[in-house]
Amino acid sequence: MTFLLLIFRVIVVLLVIRFVLRFIASIRQGAQPAQRRKPVAERKGGTLVRDPNCGTYLPESRAITVGALHFCSSACRDAYAAAHRGNASGSALTS
Ligand SMILES: [Zn+2]
C-alpha cells in the first residue's frame, strides 16, 4: 500500500511541475507577444478566392490571377484556358 501511495505522490508532483512549467511558459508568451502571435495573424489575413478549374480555395496573395479569375497553379490556369479556348470568357487567358 505504501508503494501505491509513493506512485500517487510521484504522479501528483509531476502534475504540479507540469502545471508550473506551463504557467511559466504562458508568462513568457505574454512577455513576447510579437514573436508568438505573428503566425496566427498571418493565418487570419487575406481573402480566400476559388480556383474555377479545380474548385480549390486559396489565399488571394498566393493565387495566380488572370483578370478576375484566380488559379492555384499554372497547370490549372492552362487547363482552364484550354477548356475555355474560343469562348468569350476564356479569351483573356489565351494571350
Ligand atoms: Zn486548381
pLDDT of residue 85: 85
- Listing DSSP states for 36-61 in one string gives HHHHHHHHH-S-EEE-TTT--EEEGG
Domain spans of the chain? 2-43, 46-94
**Per-residue pLDDT tens for 23-72?**
989 888 887 655 555 555 455 667 899 999 999 999 999 999 999 999 99
Distance 41 CA to ligand 1 centre (A): 25
pLDDT at 83 over 80: yes
Distance 53 CA to ligand 1 centre (A): 5
Distance 60 CA to ligand 1 centre (A): 13
Whole-structure pTM value: 0.46
- pLDDT category of residue 13 using cuts at 50, 70 and 90: very high
pLDDT of residue 36: 54
Helix or strand or coil: residue 18?
A: helix
